Each structure stands twice: as C-alpha cells, then as structure tokens.
Amino acid sequence: MPGASSESPLRIGVLASQGDFAAHVRILRELGADAFEVRTPADLAGLDGLVIPGGESTTITRAIDRDGLEPAIRAHAERGAPILGTCAGMIVCDSEHLGLIDATARRNAFGRQLQSFEAELDFDGVGDEPVRAVFIRAPWIERCGDGVDVLARWDGHPVAIRGGNVLTCSFHPELTDDSRVHALLMAMATGARERSGSEIETTEAEGG
C-alpha cells in the first residue's frame, strides 16, 4: 500500500519539560503537522519527529531523567526518526549529554554581554534567503565529528549542524515567523517515513 501512511499528517512531538514548547507546536501545526506536547515515554511512541526546545539544559536533562524519557528518545533516534534540538535542546543532544549527535556544544558561548541578539544567517538547505535567528544565552558548537555537516555559522562558529537525522541549532526558530527550520525537520520526517515504508514493502515482497 504505497503512500497510504505518507498521506496522513506527520506526527511531531515537542518535548514539554520546560521552555517555549507551545510556540513550536503552533508553527508545526501551521505547516500541516499533527503536533503535540510530549511528557511521557508513551507520548514518544511512533512519532515521525521530535523537537527538544530551548530553555535551560540542566533543567531539561533532569526532567528527561525524572520522567524516564531517555530510552524512548533513544529508540526514536535509533529507528531513524528525526530530532530537532534548539538552543538548550542542542546541548541536550550533544556528545556530553544524550549523545544523539557527534558534536560538543559550549553553553552560553557568546558571553554575558551578548545575552541575546539577532542575526541573519546563511543556512544550507533552506533556500537562498538568509534565516533571521534569535540567539538567547546561546551555545555554539565547539567540536563536531566527520559525519556532521555545518549548516550555518555565526562569527565563524557553527550554530546549526546536522548529523544523520539529528538537526540542532543554537538559536530559537520558534520566535520568528520564518518556519524554514521546522519545515526542514518535516522534510526529514517525510524522508524517514518513506524509507521505513519502503523497508516494510521490501520485507513483504520478500515474504517476510
């Protein structure tokens, strides 16, 4: 039944432990996703995509631990479903936290005098128009592995990276009316859904 599942809206969960999760849900709905807040391991089952929003990385990490979400987040990543981590979410995904992407983020990297600022970024894979980015006590990427692509830099530092199905950015894409970062997550989710659909078809064709 090719296409049957790809016709239903993408189910995208937004981790609602802390931070600006409601704005992510709103943008994803505007883009046509079936988007909702995620608080329990059961909420994570069968998602096409997951957003880990900004906030405070230590608080989010503790909440993931407290709510027993780590195995379900890991299972989501392992079946190839995409994840978008923004700001604190970038830190939560890095090698020193959940280890979902081979990269190390530096917290509050832009320093105290630059607590928050906006910038226009050239961002690979979302079109020629620069992305207007809102940075709030943002991290940057200090190290990333060979399999990780840098999609955007600010002041020479990587601020958006992608490794496999994990996309992370230092800024807050939910705070502008430019939804291209969320659209990129949804394109990744569509790709992942098509790949897993064709795996099922191949298995069925082989009689398995």
Residue positions annotated with a catalytic role: 87, 172, 174
Region of 50-58, 75-83, 150-158, 182-190 interacting with ligand GLN (CB under 6 A):
50-58
Cα–Cα dist 54/63, whole Å: 13
Question: Judged by CB, which is closer to ligand GLN: 56, or 149?
Answer: 56
At residue 182, φ and ψ (nearest 5 deg) are -65, -35
Closest CA relative to residue 55, chosen from 172, 203, 200: 172
Residue of 108, 176, 190, 196 interacting with ligand GLN (CB under 6 A): 108
For the bound state, the minimum distance from the C-beta of residue 115 to ligand GLN, rounded and expressed in Å, comes to 9
The answer to whether residue 55 forms part of the interface with ligand GLN (CB under 6 A) is yes
119 class by beta-carbon count within 10 Å (0-12 exposed, 13-18 middle, 19+ buried) = middle
Question: Judged by CB, which is closer to ligand GLN: 57, or 165?
Answer: 57
Cα–Cα dist 206/201, whole Å: 8
Maximum distance among all Cα pairs of the chain, rounded to whole angstroms: 63
- Residue window 74-103: x/- pattern of binding to ligand GLN, with contact defined by CB under 6 A: -------------xx--x------------
Tokens of 173: 């894409």
Cα–Cα dist 167/93, whole Å: 9
Region of 10-18, 55-63, 121-129, 143-151 interacting with ligand GLN (CB under 6 A):
55-63
The answer to whether residue 13 forms part of the interface with ligand GLN (CB under 6 A) is no
Residues lying near ligand GLN in the complex (CB under 6 A) are found at 54-57, 87-88, 91, 107-108, 136-137
